[in-house]
Amino acid sequence: MAPPPAAAPPHIAPASRLEARPVLPLRVAAPALRPAEQSTPCQTRRTTPDTAARSQPANGARIGRFRRSVRRLSAQCSRSQMCASPIFTGGRFAARARFPPGSAHTPGPLPGGDGRALPFGGRPRLHCAWRDGLAKLRGVRRVAGTRSGCFRVMTDTKQPRSHGTHRSAALLALAVGLPFLNKPFHIDDPVVLAVSAQVLQHPLRPLDGEINWDSDPIPLFKQTTNPPLLSYYLAPFIAVFGCSEVALHGAMLLFLVVLAVAAAELSRRFANRSWWPVLFVLTSPAVVVSSNVMRDVPAMALAAAAVAVFVRGTDDDRPWLLVAGSLLAGGAVLTKYSAAVLFPLLALYPLLRGRVRPLWALLPGAAAVGLWCLQNVWAHGVTHLQYLMAESRSQLAWQDQFYPGMAVIGACCFLTPALLAGTAASRSWWRVLVYGAAAPLVARGLRSHFLDPPPDGQCWLWSESGGLLIWALAAAFVLLTLRCLWLAARRTGDPAAEVAAQWRDELFLIAWLFAVVYFSVVYVMFQAVRHLLPAMAPLCLLGCRALQRVDRPVRLVSAGALTLCLAAQVVVSAWVAAADYQYADTYRQFVRTMAKALPVSRGRVWFAGHWGWQQYAQRAGWRQLETNGPQPHAGELVIIPERVHKGPMPPGLYPRLEEVSERTYRTRLRMFTMNGFCGASFYAVTGRNLPYLYTKDDTLEVFHVYRAGPRPTPNGEER
């Protein structure tokens, strides 16, 4: 007597049922898991009920179990004379069939199964779908209808969220910001602090105060170029802790954390949860050096958070997320006017997907900006933005703004070498053609812009790097558009649909990048790193997406190149940030030293200059020189730094001054961020200046201490 047949697994029908229904298809799938037991693409689970909820310890173990499940299920299909192959879809194992033409199949699910229908008949042919599952674990997806091994970046809007990733990004942000808690006030920090002081006095009229930022005191409404939301945020900290560097920089860490979490969320959506965009954004010199009490990092953080939240709300159809994204966009605009490009950008995302209903959610953010405009009309008779557009529009030619912008992008984003390495490894003729055409075009533009003298090595390096990066991303988008149109014309089905989805994401990111660049070129008086800071997020996302759209061997080369580029960026960022810290600390140290050395009986001390130097000099009780204001009396001291920004000096002052002493501060870093003598200008990149510059000069600042002589009277006498 033959032995009884072995019991079939729960998701495979017994042989008797198969023989009794030879023309019906089978649905082969794992038993449905409870919501708490469902796995994710990064957490593969076995298909049997007793091990469905067991967590996998490592990627290697998950891949091994996945392969064993493939072999087991394929063997079961062979015993049942089915032609199937397992794949990993939606967090479960299902089955997919390749069957001979003409085989009969009609829907007929088995009890307890909810997989895909599989036909009868023929020898089983195992499809290599396990590559799809392994590729999903690595973060890419093989496109149907293409050659074997051709992968495309995944842009699945329903990928699982990971709070652990957000926590790790927040910790990374703290690691970047904590070393600069005691950084001295620098560049435009005194303007923000002056608005905060006015908020504490008159909360409803934040721009009614005055500040001397050039030669004479003028109203804050005319001097500041941005709204006061950041000053409102810092006002309570100033009321409690005073103008403490540690307290205010600690308050600014919140925006760095928001930026990190937003970058992680954007990477989940547009770069398949890759850590590369997050790392390149947070370690960029544009972000690390900007650890000041200025509006640039807060505006960038709120803008990135607005995009991340609004995109997630659109994908998941959650109205409250749409409203939250709109309010964040309004907060970004109320922090810095350049964030106004967010509203058309956020409207573009749902429109690209044929959805109009999410547009209503933009109204709350626009209403917040409208309330600020109404306050301007009530307090000043004209909106602040309208006044700035009439007074502060750039008078430079677009070339004088664009080419310094390329140098800024090249100096603050080190992705270009990785893109070049990926191009060389892919051996793609069209990529080589794109980069080959970009290099001479950028070089020709630089020669035409910098006529006399020609640009030096560092200028060539950063300008060529930024120009190649912008050109490559724009050309890749154009080629992707042409490919999408070609596939749509051929009606190739799934590949065309996937390329179209990829094209929509690329168009959104390209629009984000070029909107920021356009605003900084056309509407800003001068180019600067802070003006292009919001472009770092879409720039890094686009660069990493371009490196993910390659085969696996090329991706390994790209990963190695990305690692080297990231290491170089971290080193350069730390170097430049330390140099900027040391330069800002020069003024704080000099004021402390001079305040202790000067006896009280010497009388009043005058100073000239702005930026952080102005904040510390006024804190010490020194008086600022004004063109049309009071003048120093005979015997009083006047301190004038050599390299700080100074407005017009009072007429007739220099002939009365007699130099008493001179103090020079030097550095061993040989890196400069603000030095007009060597051409470094991180906060105002104009002409041939670069964001940062390595030079042999070691002089940070030279302070000249003068004693004022008698002033001539109208009768010619001196007093």
What is the token pair recorded at 607? Answer: 């100073």
Reference 284, options 691, 642, 674; nearest CA is 691
Rounded mean pLDDT of 224-243? Answer: 94
* C-alpha dihedral, 84 to 86 to 88 to 90, nearest 10°: 40
Tell me how crowded residue 611 is: count the other CB atoms within 10 A of its CB: 23
Q: What is the pLDDT of residues 632-653, one digit of tens each?
A: 888 889 999 999 988 888 888 8
Phi, psi for 477 (deg, rounded to 5): -65, -40
Output b/e per residue, 357-368; b: 16+ Cβ within 10 A: ebeebbebbeeb
Length of the chain: 719
Residue 424 has pLDDT above 50, yes or no: yes
Residue 423 has pLDDT above 90, yes or no: no
Output b/e per residue, 515-528; b: 16+ Cβ within 10 A: bbbebbbebbbbbb
Confidence of residue 395 (pLDDT cuts 50, 70, 90): low
Give me Rg for the CA atoms of the chain. Answer: 32
Domain ranges of the chain: 15-138, 580-708
Query: By mean pLDDT, which of 204-208, 257-261, 436-440, 617-621 is the weakest?
Result: 436-440
Residue 116 amino acid letter: R
Q: Specify the pLDDT at position 455.
A: 56
Q: Specify the pLDDT at position 552.
A: 67
Tally: H helices and E strands in the chain: 24, 17
Q: Specify the pLDDT at position 390.
A: 78
Quickly tell me which residue has 């800003």 as its tokens: 524
Q: Specify the pLDDT at position 64.
A: 67
Q: Specify the pLDDT at position 23.
A: 40
CB–CB of 540/415 below 8 Å?
A: yes
CB–CB of 473/542 below 8 Å?
A: yes
Q: What is the pLDDT of residues 76-135, one digit of tens each?
A: 544 443 333 332 233 333 333 333 344 333 333 333 333 333 333 333 333 444 444 444
Q: Specify the pLDDT at position 73.
A: 58
CA separation for the pair 541, 537 (Å, rounded): 6
**Residue 16: exposure state from Cβ atoms within 10 A (0-12, 13-18, ≥19):** exposed
Q: Specify the pLDDT at position 184.
A: 95
Rounded mean pLDDT of 248-259? Answer: 96
Q: What is the pLDDT of residues 314-347, one digit of tens each?
A: 999 899 999 999 999 999 999 999 999 999 999 9
CA separation for the pair 308, 311 (Å, rounded): 5
Q: Specify the pLDDT at position 581.
A: 95
CB–CB of 39/33 below 8 Å?
A: yes
Q: What is the 3-state secondary structure (H, E, C) of 203-263?
A: CCCCCCCEECCCCCCEEHHHHCCCCCHHHHHHHHHHHHHCCCHHHHHHHHHHHHHHHHHHH
Q: Chain-wide mean pLDDT for the chain?
A: 76
Query: By mean pLDDT, which of 412-416, 455-459, 471-475 is the weakest?
Result: 455-459
- Residue, of 129 and 521, whose pLDDT is higher: 521
Report the range out of 33-42, 233-242, 352-361 with the highest average pLDDT.
233-242
- Residue, of 383 and 495, whose pLDDT is higher: 383
**Residue 38: exposure state from Cβ atoms within 10 A (0-12, 13-18, ≥19):** middle
Q: Specify the pLDDT at position 398.
A: 75
* 245-270 vs 296-316: helix crossing angle, rounded to 10: 30
Phi, psi for 681 (deg, rounded to 5): -155, 80
Percent pLDDT > 90 in the chain is: 40
Tell me how crowded residue 691 is: count the other CB atoms within 10 A of its CB: 27
Q: Specify the pLDDT at position 370.
A: 94
Percent pLDDT > 70 in the chain is: 68
Rounded mean pLDDT of 410-437? Answer: 77
CB–CB of 685/526 below 8 Å?
A: yes
CA separation for the pair 458, 694 (Å, rounded): 8
Residue 42 has pLDDT above 90, yes or no: no
Q: Specify the pLDDT at position 277.
A: 93
Rounded mean pLDDT of 370-388? Answer: 92
Residue 160 has pLDDT above 90, yes or no: no
CB–CB of 151/142 below 8 Å?
A: yes
Measured at the CA of 227, the angle between CA 278 and CA 573, to 5 degrees, comes to 30
Q: Specify the pLDDT at position 599.
A: 66
Q: Specify the pLDDT at position 28.
A: 40
CA separation for the pair 578, 681 (Å, rounded): 15
CA separation for the pair 290, 208 (Å, rounded): 27
